[in-house]
Structure 1
Amino acid sequence: METRKLMRVLMFTLCLSAMSGLMFNFVLPDMREEFSLSTAQVSWVTSSYSLLYGIGTVLYGKLTERYQLKNLLSFGLLLFAAGSLVGLVSQAFWMVLAARCLQAIGAAAIPAAATLIPIRYFPPERRGAAMATAFIGLSIGSALGPVVSSLVAGFAHWRWLFSIPLLILITLPFYRKYLKDEDPQFPGSFDLLGGGLLAVAITCLLLGITNGIWWLPLAGLLVAALFIVRIHRASVPFVSPVLFRNQEYSVRLVIMFLFSGAAFALHFLSPLLLAEIHALPPGWIGFVMVPAAAASALLGKTGGKLADAKGNTDLFLTAMIMLVACFVLLSTFSAISAVAVALFLILGNVGQTFGMIALSNSVSLSLAKEQAGIGMGLMQMLNFISAGIASGVYGTMLDIRSEVSWNPLYAYAEGQVYSNIYLVLAGLLLAMLMFYSLRFGKTEHGHIRAAGS
């Protein structure tokens, strides 16, 4: 009973976290006008949040080996609330930016809890349903974020958006009650240099891609090479090289990276398509995307039950078929109407949710208990890197433009570039589906033996 209550609290926490990550994207023009900033300057409100959030997820994952999850999560939630208070009273742009940075550093503790609570509190045969509950929170937050942002900005000043994340303080007493006191697994030294090298590598990579600075990703790769050298030489490395010798984990991590990047097109390209091709204002774009997020929330628990009953492999293959169908439909009929786009996105978003449940569950099952914190943290970090790289790739492809459609069934006068991108993604996912079915199709019920277990 207590574990079910804990998952409901976690679902509410993830909902608020997802909302906070999205809400401010829709009021950037208002901030730009109020503070007389350029688009590049005001975009730091979102890019700084994403950057710190992505780095923080792996750091918190590592810290769970040395500190109690209960205390780490409490620290993160309090810092998240503190950032919200700073933003609520902000009178200058630097205060808004500082508030978003504090929010990101605090909120990064939430993914660590979202992945470790199902691992530590649920047996493998019930873990899929538990992870599905977490993804329901993300889906609800994704649905409410644009709508709440439009409503608040329409009736009050955009600063009041900072008041909504303060509701997260409600969850703190429940976490203190339901999370157990656990002894740290590795109470010894912490590889600060290794963690720092990883953080610098991620920063260079994401900033270089999002800002189009070609030398930064190269610098990031150089620092990443130094990180690899460090983890092989340190007595207690930030990430044990043994983790990457686990083929089940490593292969699934690569698949997760590719899957996340492809599925990110649903959230990155769809608003642009609705604005450019269907001439919808920002408020209406949010409402068009609500049915897809709502469907993901309603069907997420079903996906978790399917993972537990039929296996992660079957659920993932189902998810891939749904996403391929969504991208084929978008490639062929994306310009017909906004209603059609909303319907296609339902298929894609539910497929994305099913896929993330299956991959997260299978990755967790491939890890030994002592590797769960850093292993799941790296998985979450790769999701953010994948989204950052994908946004840069999609943005570049949109800038190139195209007046020729690669899809022979596309019969509209505009939107060819969107049709082409969706078609390429459908082909990529088909190739991934074939590889996954050959590599893991014979795995009974999607269960894997964890390395070292």
Structure 2
Amino acid sequence: MNKELKKQGNEKLLMIMMLTVTLSSMSILMFNFVLPQISKEFQLTNSQVSWVTSAYTLLYGIGTAIYGKLADRYKLKNLLIFGLLLFAIASLLGFFSHSYLLLLVARCLQAAGAATIPATATLIPIRYFPLEKRGTAMGTVFIGTALGSAIGPIVSSLVVTIVNWRWLFCIPLLVLLTLPLYMKYLGDEEGTNTRIDWLGGGLLALSVAQFLLGVTNDVMWVTGGIAVLVLFIYRIRLAKYPFIQPQLFKNKTYISYLILAFLVTGIGYSLFFLTPLFLADVQNLPVNLIGLAMVPAATATALLNRQGGKIADSKGTPTLFFLASSLLIICFFMLSTFIYSTSMLIAIFLIIGNVGQSFMMIVMSKSISLTLPSEHSGVGMGLLMMQNFISGSIAIGIYGRAVDMAGESPWNPFNQLSIGTTFSNIFFVLFALHVFILIVYILSRRVTSN
């Protein structure tokens, strides 16, 4: 009886986590759509107002790795409650912000609190569900990302139409409703009783921050990031209690999956970044319809994510990888070939691609979790989430430059139209990359099995 009650409690915990991830995902996206209003109110340049989202993404990405490490040492319940309270308090501060500085501080504090959410979202399936149910649990949690992507633009548009953009800060306050539930269903498990090397953690955070700034602003930041990264490596080799155990980087399976996740995440960001651009430039859709055109893909992903997790549990992660890779290959090839087709057809291609990308994230998360010993699960999964943000930032920078380079002739032999050539060529390259990744994955599994 107690075992059945515990199982039901874990399922409820999973649904609460999914709701929290939804709110977190919405918080990232919603402010992207109101930057023009913020810029106008505070009389900011485009580079100045971009920090409203850039600073949030920067701290959010770094925070996931730090909270992941802390989860190996402290109670997950305490870390999550602290983060959600900080997230809510910062949102309240943002609602009353009447200067750009205060707004920026609020967004930074929001990110510092919300960074507990992705760290916790990857650890709950590992700690509260058996191995044969882990994929389904991860698929359920990732539904929140899809829902946030679908609801965020709609809510943002609705709010700014009716009231002031500051009311967007009220949406994250809903996380306060989840606190009693987390206190009830999250356990009191302690991590390993080791010290935290804060100097090492600070060096890692500084290195990542400079790399991200180098991608989004000035490439000279990358030089500083490399220098600090060298110091971080030196630190973890000498420290008695390193922030990240050097043995983790000797885990070849973990590192190979981390590199694979870096590549597929960067490719997947094209669906979020390029879609609004080519819908406007090639399909000539008005702004209010662009968001609606992306909703079916996010909705389908939310509906099918749990099924993807079940496939990973019942058939194995390689099966889901082949399915996800096939869907992405089809999506990018179709987008490249039919870039100037009807909006309805484009929406179908986006559904295929978004479902494939979400399935791929389930594969990466479950596969990487299986390579980690329990004492390294927090920081190991935290590094996975952090590198996702790094990969996305680099990819967006590359896609932005690629769009600015007008394509003269199509590379796809099945598309010889001159309209939308630039986007067609980008998607054709991404199609080829996924074919290459699938071939390498198949060959590597054959080598491993032999």
Scaled to the shorter chain, the TM-score interval is: over 0.9
Preserved CA contact (<8 Å) 1:26 1:282: no
Residue 146 of structure 2: aligned partner: 139
Could you tell me which amino acid in structure 2 is paired with residue 189 of structure 1?
Answer: R
Structure-to-structure mapping, 1:111-190, within 5 angstroms: 111-185=118-192, 187-190=193-196
Structure-to-structure mapping, 1:237-316, within 5 angstroms: 237-316=242-321
Distance 2:286 2:177 in 1: 34
Match 1:200 to one of 189, 206, 209 = 206
Match 1:233 to one of 228, 234, 238 = 238
Spell out, residue by residue over 1:254-311, the C-alpha distance to the aligned partner (whole angstroms, 9 max, x if none). Answer: 0000000001100010011112222223321111000000000000010010000000
Residue 449 of structure 1: aligned partner: none
Report how far residue 180 of structure 1 moved: 0.7
Spell out, residue by residue over 1:191-238, the C-alpha distance to the aligned partner (whole angstroms, 9 max, x if none). Answer: 111111111111111111111x12111221121121111111111111
Preserved CA contact (<8 Å) 2:21 2:145: yes
Q: Does structure 1 residue 328 correspond to structure 2 residue 333?
A: yes
Distance 1:281 1:37 in 2: 25
Report how far residue 139 of structure 1 moved: 0.7
Preserved CA contact (<8 Å) 1:14 1:110: yes
Report how far residue 411 of structure 1 moved: 3.5
Spell out, residue by residue over 1:155-213, the C-alpha distance to the aligned partner (whole angstroms, 9 max, x if none). Answer: 1111111111110111111111111111221x3321111111111111111111111x1
Residue 342 of structure 1 aligns to a residue whose secondary structure is helix
Residue 451 of structure 1: aligned partner: none
Report how far residue 408 of structure 1 moved: 2.1
Spell out, residue by residue over 1:84-141, the C-alpha distance to the aligned partner (whole angstroms, 9 max, x if none). Answer: 1011111111121111111100000001110111100011101000001101111111
Residue 67 of structure 2: aligned partner: 60
Name whichever of 325-334 and 277-286 sits farther off. 277-286
Structure 2 gap ranges (5+): 1-7
Preserved CA contact (<8 Å) 1:146 1:283: no
Distance 1:303 1:246 in 2: 27
Distance 1:60 1:104 in 2: 12
Give the direction of change, closer, same or farther, for the CA distance of 1:313–1:441 in structure 2 (3 Å limit): farther
Preserved CA contact (<8 Å) 1:136 1:300: yes
Report how far residue 339 of structure 1 moved: 2.1
Residue 216 of structure 2: aligned partner: 210
Structure 1 gap ranges (5+): 445-453
Report how far residue 442 of structure 1 moved: 8.1
Distance 2:378 2:393 in 1: 23
Could you tell me which amino acid in structure 2 is paired with residue 198 of structure 1?
Answer: L
Residue 372 of structure 2: aligned partner: 367
Sequence identity, in percent?
Answer: 53
Preserved CA contact (<8 Å) 2:410 2:417: no
Match 2:82 to one of 75, 79, 82 = 75
Q: Does structure 1 residue 440 correspond to structure 2 residue 445?
A: yes
Could you tell me which amino acid in structure 1 is paired with residue 206 of structure 2?
Answer: V
Structure-to-structure mapping, 1:22-61, within 5 angstroms: 22-61=29-68
Give the direction of change, closer, same or farther, for the CA distance of 1:316–1:40 in structure 2 (3 Å limit): same
Could you tell me which amino acid in structure 1 is paired with residue 197 of structure 2?
Answer: D
Could you tell me which amino acid in structure 1 is paired with residue 161 of structure 2?
Answer: G
Could you tell me which amino acid in structure 1 is paired with residue 418 of structure 2?
Answer: A
Distance 2:448 2:91 in 1: 46
Residue 3 of structure 2: aligned partner: none
Residue 419 of structure 1: aligned partner: 424
What TM-score comes out, normalization by structure 2 length?
A: 0.96
Distance 1:315 1:121 in 2: 22
Could you tell me which amino acid in structure 2 is paired with residue 199 of structure 1?
Answer: A
What TM-score comes out, normalization by structure 1 length?
A: 0.96
Preserved CA contact (<8 Å) 1:317 1:437: no
Preserved CA contact (<8 Å) 2:123 2:378: yes
Q: Does structure 1 residue 389 correspond to structure 2 residue 384?
A: no
Structure-to-structure mapping, 1:92-103, within 5 angstroms: 92-103=99-110
Give the direction of change, closer, same or farther, for the CA distance of 1:249–1:103 in structure 2 (3 Å limit): same
| Aligned residues between the structures | 442
Report how far residue 359 of structure 1 moved: 1.0
RMSD of aligned Cα (Å): 1.2
Could you tell me which amino acid in structure 1 is paired with residue 409 of structure 2?
Answer: V
